[in-house]
Amino acid sequence: MKILLDTSVLVAAMVEAHPAHELALPWLQRIKAGTDVGFVAAHSIVELYAVLSVLPVQPRISPAIANKLIHQDVLDICEIVTLSVQDYNRVIKHLSESNIVGGVTYDAVILYTAFKVEIDRIVTLNKKDFVRIYPGIAEKIILP
Average pLDDT over residues 46-52: 97
Nearest to 43 by CA among 5, 15, 16: 5
Contact 26, 143 (CB under 8 A): no
CATH of 2-132, picked from 1.10.443.10, 3.40.50.300, 3.40.50.720, 3.40.50.1010, is: 3.40.50.1010
- pLDDT tens for 92-109 read 999 999 999 999 999 999
Average pLDDT over residues 74-101: 97
Predicted local distance difference test score (pLDDT) of residue 115: 87
* Strand ranges across the sheet with 79-81: 79-81, 37-41, 2-5, 121-123, 141-142
What percentage of the chain carries pLDDT values higher than 70?
100
CA distance 94 to 115: 13
Domain ranges (residues) in the chain: 2-132
What percentage of the chain carries pLDDT values higher than 90?
98
CA distance 46 to 137: 25
Contact 20, 125 (CB under 8 A): yes
CA distance 66 to 63: 5
Split at pLDDT 50, 70, 90, the class of 40 is: very high
